[in-house]
Structure 1
């Protein structure tokens, strides 16, 4: 009865703000309803970078993201689900396009190539015949644009490039773009090059003309081209780098182009002459880059025009013209927020095909819905629970770096992210909020660790925070993040702190793994020592403590594995495979002579997990050919025999979806995959908490935070790689 009353009360409150979501029928924690062996998403919701949106004839919406792959909603954005099975690159660079004659056949471009689905996105394939060959260690050909053919449903056109809203990372910018547009006559099964540009060009949009048969337009980094698919000849119609183009069925001579810093350009002579149409558009460059007018679109003939300036600057946003491009007015000045700050950088727009007033836009943190042609907007990443926020199935969540449970208050769970700070739940994962105050350089946190000291009511939480400008600091809070104290005044702020090691047996000792070696404090972080170490200038990526000897510590670095027997004052190398970089270390509780060490792919070979049963005197691999490195190893609190590992990967090669998570129930001798429920098979970290002895928490790289319930008396399979 009391539960019903609380639910009704929450619904009354939320009725005032109905756009924030409805009352849940069940106020219980997600930790109470876990299925065995299935990863379950937790967290407040986040879209990180929405890179594309498309709406099908039945109103379903496909969302592409920069690190989380593809998501689908069938109820106008109220709930989302991932569609990433066999999608081996999660950086989606084009909209998901259905085949004109079959809604179950879908096409999409990624940073790692072209993908096709024939079951509505449930599974994907990567046909590459005629396209650049698959590359193991780099990007072979990022897809910038795909277009179907209104005259022939079997025809496709494709251009290499990158998404309209971004030039990409340094790695992407160094790619060699093609001179060609590629065409397929069998719905993407095979390709051949046609239409050579005068110079290699990055393609950001292809438009097969519905007004002029055999005509295709290409918006590229070297200008706008009109091509003839019969003669295979291009004509440059605008010698200005442009990102988007559209034509008009009611006026076949008219074109509009979105051209970055030049804004919106119009031709009424099929590209012979162009004039700017920028009245009302804002141009305000930002330190991160210039204005980027990238998209020009409308729902259907006769409706308003929309233009997007995809920039972090104050001129960014969506602009609408109600007078056919004569004047523009920004319609995203008052976008709503949940737990995250709004962003002016809008990357994508899509229109419902049956209701032209229903519009979706995607930004660097949010996806929004408007039911009134852009006059007002609703955010779709989070629902208001009354006490905070919970996800809608979208939790791409800006590089989730760590999840930690407060040992003195197990109802309290913290999630550390890169870009979006630290989120906290005070009700066992039911609702989430930002912490009260960010630590120094606290927009991003690489690691979190709790220390519980005798006589202290609250455990101390340490955060290794950083900025993308490589500033870093260790900070501590004793009041759950309401205030923080910086402990880095005597540390080099340009030395990134990667890992924090604490031990309940030595609560005042804190060990840091950094880009320039190991630093140790024996007075809770007030002063630091670099000790005498072979690791003084090395990037240290792994730290571990012996389960029963608190002064015996282990560290992993690019040069190998190291050990200290005096609490971190001196470090000596442990004989290991030569030139194998170490990324994770564990010494098993209950059998401390058993070591597990994870490596990173290098010139010595693919990443692997190694096991020693004689305290490191000899080693053998138990899982081989992992991609790209072992990011974490944990032992289940309820069972010394059960061990989980996490694997991470990066976006800088074609197939970068990672190798997934693995579990062993025989202390690491045999392993089986454990990926059910994960839309992204790569992770930054994996953690456990004594308060939840059968649960494992995962910090995924691309789809947020997860928890898994390990079943009692589970047996590992013998599947190894």
Structure 2
């Protein structure tokens, strides 16, 4: 049950890496966690626990990737993390990249050290601090072991075999001389076994070694491929896994066929030594760089995900949730910005490494390259490139002209003919420091995938209010603006920024001269937030970080398009909001995971977030934030004005896997209200929906209502009442599903279909919220589904028919309930008459009446049906005929069919006949029975009064 977690990514990508805050410990198998220190170690590569003492634990701290720090090396705790001692420190730029424990003698430890420094323009991997160290006394003393290893090495990974503790494997970055090394004498002497580049390419990112616990000749190396050797490391073969870019491996020490692999796509399990693997399509862990949305209904969300494809996915889907069928690729690759005309997103422009850009045609599902100067300068020094493009190079479509596309390199490129030709509309808008434009890796291994290309534009935005006003931000800290479409440019960089990544710029939707800049300096080992605001096109700036935590660097800021001064900020450690233009910030995390937020976009009433590690998230309705004020906070009761609600048609689904689905927004109108105090139990809160005529069509209460039963579904039972209205102190959210009250139900009866109220027609409604003597009201608009063109007369005709069907279903069920109540009384009367002179007469009369009551009930409802399968066995009755027609008419917005009208006429005829029979049984035939019982001096049976109809 004792588990330790070491925080921070030790595969230190320059484009998307999060540092950690030390070590956490769980003593209940991971259910709860406690922080146990080492906050400043930043990146932990490995934890080893003594096999017989869970309080004796060792931590390999790799340290800060972007600068020197002393909090790195091998730490030891003998008390489960309460206290720590640094038992091996090599240097402030050399961290522990791996740690292996001899499980046959846990006092023997092997530590791999990596001398490294990551800068925005270069990965320095290698130096005097790199090497392998061994301890034979539980970490108290250490000896560096070098015999047989190259003189200059970079990253190292090491593992000792459980099957033979004298055998130790190490994968070593060096050139010349790098590769897989093996020692057969406990690390005293080493010899190189294999130097294939497939096991040591991009050492800083991959290159982890794992010895099989049961077979000393089997060893694995994680690299872009998953590599395995069965001959002691002499030769390797690639093992097929669900995803490339492999980083970690766990091998069951008792059964080496059981493996868990971690890679850039997720985690997967094998039970047969890697022949087959479990799926990774059940882990919502995408790392998105940016987010964009279109104006389809429902709108689609787009982004490029780290080491995976671009993605577009619907924000709402039918069938119970957003599933795998609801997303698709849109060109480009993992590092992409994605851009398009939001009103007509046929052509989608998406980026890739080193300036690649493609146009994806939604209609034909084809993709073509539209790069301004088609070249893939992999491994070249960036000073030798025609254009320098950021790993995440900005692409945007002009908000004023959907035919204009911009692509940011070190200059701004513009195309007006779908990428056939591009024009430079700016000079170099970066610092253009040639000393930072060399190879991306040193001193051993070059890194040329594009993440270290420096002096590039990281953000480009055209003002939504002024055509031709374009702002740019570079990865080396410059902010520039043109107000004439690129004719002249002005450097308007805030003085306090320094050399930084300008991650995002937002132009105020309310004032063309107001803009916000989010800059990050974490690549310079500065984790403080940097957020600036100008109101004069960049002539002056103010820093606005009051309330943001000191190490929550800001990646993105957006101003709300409805409420001036309402700002949203995405940081490394979560989400913040400001109601006063950035003067004061407050955290607003709610159910959003504590995760880096890389981008934000406001879409209508929603806020869409791209995260690094938890995929896309949507805050479904911004109404409370847009309307919040101090007087709202002080009010005893406040009902927020709801956003417009759409009467959307959702698709059906069968066997939908909720565990692998994204969540839909709440169905219907989202209603928010705030309470200063919880209502008294004797006076529950009440929420009512009124139509345009002022008639209450739906009522909810904070008091739990007893379920009437009978609300089933195809293949499943029903029987629940309506949802209870939440009434907590503070903000409450409740969704009206845009339906009227449902028909009367028969308690305990199974219904095949949905016994629900009809949908409200598009139009104007009112929400009324009552708590004790306080009443608050707000208007609400229900809009039609934009995808469906239906006339108002057709909506009315549908509503009229559904209202009639609802009344009929209620009347039928009310009749059944009254029949059951009368029958119960009749049976009770028989019991009371026993022992009296006329008991037999009463019993005879009762049998006649009960037979008629049973026959009447059987004509209205099928009592023998208990689930979706027994529907097949026993014929449906009248109520089910009406419910089926009601569901069919309610399920679409294209107008009532002639067939539905004809069926309704026939059902009304059937119901008229059955109703006459019902009235006769509960009238004349019951009266005859009552005449008999009165003669015996027994009280008469009374027919319960019909309840007032629930549905107008």
TM-score (norm 1): 0.62
Q: Is the 2:503–2:519 contact (alpha carbons within 8 Å) kept by the matching residues of 1?
A: yes
Question: Equivalent residue for 2:508?
Answer: 588
1:641/1:203 CA distance change after superposition, 3 Å: closer
**2:567 aligned residue:** 643
**Alpha-carbon shift at residue 461 of structure 1 (Å):** 1.8
State the alpha-carbon separation in 2 of the partners of residues 238 and 534 from structure 1. Answer: 51
Query: CA deviation digits over 1:567-600, x for unaligned, max 9?
Result: 2322234585465565433333245454433334
Counterparts of 2:202 and 2:456 in 1: how far apart (Å)? 31
Q: Identify if the C-alpha distance between structure 1 residues 152 and 556 changes in structure 2 by more than 3 Å, giving closer, same or farther.
A: closer
The Cα shift of 1:706 comes to: 2.1
What is aligned with 1:620? Answer: 542
Separation of aligned partners in 2, 1:577 and 1:293? 43
The yes-or-no answer on 1:449 pairing with 2:303 is no
1:553 counterpart (470, 479, 491): 470
Taking the aligned partners of 2:532 and 2:142, their CA distance within structure 1 comes to 57
Contact 1:319 1:328 in 2 (8 A): yes
Q: Check 1:665–1:682 CA distance in 2 against 1; reply closer, same or farther (3 A cut).
A: same
After the TM superposition, which residues 138-153 of structure 1 pair with which residues of structure 2 at under 5 Å, given as runs? 142-150=43-51, 152-153=53-54
* Offset of residue 348 of structure 1: 1.3
Q: Deviation at 1:673?
A: 1.8
Q: Which residue of 1 aligns with 2:422?
A: 528
Number of the residue aligned with 1:13:
none
Q: Is 1:370 equivalent to 2:265 in the alignment?
A: no
**Contact kept? 2:77, 2:84, Cα under 8 Å:** yes
User: Is 1:664 paired with 2:582?
Assistant: no
For the pair shown, the structure with the greater C-alpha radius of gyration is: 2
- Which secondary structure does the structure 2 equivalent of 1:549 belong to? coil
1:296 Cα deviation after fit: 0.7
Contact 2:223 2:247 in 1 (8 A): yes
For 1:306 and 1:433, locate their aligned partners in 2 and report how far apart those are by CA, in whole Å: 42
Question: How far did residue 295 of structure 1 move?
Answer: 0.7
Partner of 1:564: 482
Q: Is the aligned partner of 1:609 residue 2:510?
A: no
Give the match's secondary structure for 1:713.
Answer: helix
List aligned pairs for 1:420-435, cutoff 5 A: 420-425=308-313, 428=317, 429-431=322-324
Could you report, residue by residue, the CA deviation over 1:34-72 in whole angstroms, capped at 9, with x for unpaired residues?
xxxxxxxxxxxxxxxxxxxxxx68xx9x9x8xxxxx8xx
Q: How many angstroms apart in 2 are the aligned matches of 1:503 and 1:245?
A: 54
Deviations 1:66-102 (A, max 9, x none): xxxx8xxxxxxxxxxxxxxxx5x35489xxxxxxxxx
Give the conservation status (yes or no) of the 8 Å contact 1:636–1:643: yes
Residue equivalent to 2:695: none
Write out per-residue CA displacement over residues 1-34 of structure 1, whole angstroms, 9 at most, x where no aligned residue. Answer: xxxxxxxxxxxxxxxxxxxxxxxxxxxxxxxxxx
Secondary structure class of the residue paired with 1:567: coil
> Cα offset for 1:294?
0.9
The offset of 1:662, in angstroms, is: 1.9
Cα pair distance change 1:485/1:717, threshold 3 Å: farther
Instruction: Tell me: CA distance 1:609–1:161, structure 2 relative to 1, closer, same or farther (3 Å).
Output: closer
- 19, 23, 34: which one pairs with 1:115? 23
Q: Give the superposition deviation at 1:146.
A: 3.3
Contact 1:425 1:431 in 2 (8 A): no
How much does 1:113 deviate?
Answer: 6.8
5 Å matches for 1:143-182?
143-150=44-51, 152-161=53-62, 181-182=74-75
Name the structure 2 match of 1:351.
Answer: 252
Contact kept? 1:645, 1:661, Cα under 8 Å = yes
Greater strand fraction, Structure 1 or Structure 2:
1
The aligned residue for residue 457 of structure 2 is 540
Flag the 1:601–1:437 CA change in 2: closer, same or farther, 3 A.
closer
Q: 1:91 to 1:124 in 2, by over 3 A?
A: farther
1:503 aligned to which of 398, 423, 436: 398
Q: Are 1:317 and 2:194 matched, yes or no?
A: no
Helix, strand or coil: the match of 1:154?
Answer: strand
Distance in 2 separating the partners of 1:506 and 1:365: 37
Give the aligned partner of residue 191 of structure 1.
84
Q: Deviations over 1:416-465 (max 9, x none)?
A: 13432312336755326885674xxx333331121257xxx6533222x2
Would the aligned equivalents of 2:75 and 2:87 in 1 still touch at CA under 8 Å?
yes
Residue ranges of structure 1 left out of the alignment (5+ in a row): 1-55, 65-69, 71-86, 94-109, 135-139, 163-167, 383-391, 648-657
User: Which secondary structure does the structure 2 equivalent of 1:155 belong to?
Assistant: strand
- Greater helix percent: which structure? 2
What is the 5 A alignment of 1:62-81?
none
Deviation digits for residues 158-180 of structure 1 (CA, Å, limit 9, x no counterpart): 44559xxxxx98x59x99998x7
Q: CA deviation at 1:707?
A: 2.0
Partner of 2:55, secondary structure, is coil
Match of 1:28 in 2: none
Alignment size in residue pairs: 548
> Per the alignment, in what secondary structure is the counterpart of residue 702 of structure 1?
coil
Aligned match of 1:651: none
Q: 1:377-429: CA deviations, max 9, x gaps?
A: 222x21xxxxxxxxx2441x3x4122333334645433213432312336755
Q: Which residue of 2 aligns with 1:288?
A: 201
1:461 aligned residue (343, 348, 370): 348
For residues 32-431 of structure 1, the aligned pairs below 5 Å read 89-91=8-10, 114-118=22-26, 120=30, 122-123=32-33, 125=35, 127-128=37-38, 134=40, 142-150=43-51, 152-161=53-62, 181-194=74-87, 203-209=96-102, 211-212=104-105, 214-218=107-111, 222-223=131-132, 225-229=134-138, 232=141, 234=143, 236=145, 239-240=148-149, 243-246=157-160, 248=162, 254-259=166-171, 263=180, 265=182, 267=184, 285=198, 288-289=201-202, 294-298=209-213, 307-312=219-224, 316-318=226-228, 333-335=239-241, 337=242, 342-343=243-244, 345=246, 347-351=248-252, 358-379=258-279, 381-382=280-281, 392-395=282-285, 397=286, 399-408=287-296, 410=298, 412-425=300-313, 428=317, 429-431=322-324
* Residues 583, 629 of structure 1: 8 Å contact kept: no
- Structure 2, unmatched stretches of 5+, are 13-17, 114-129, 151-155, 173-177, 375-384, 433-454, 634-952
Instruction: Give me the CA root mean square deviation.
Output: 4.9
The alpha-carbon distance between structure 1 residues 188 and 589, as it changes in their structure 2 partners (threshold 3 A), is same
- In the alignment, what sits opposite 1:137? none
**Contact conserved, 2:132 with 2:144, CA < 8 A, in 1?**
no
Distance 1:229 1:641 in 2: 58
Alpha-carbon distance between aligned partners in 2 of 1:326 and 1:605, rounded to the nearest angstrom: 42
Measure, in 2, the Cα distance between the counterparts of 1:366 and 1:493: 36
Q: Secondary structure of 1:243's match?
A: strand
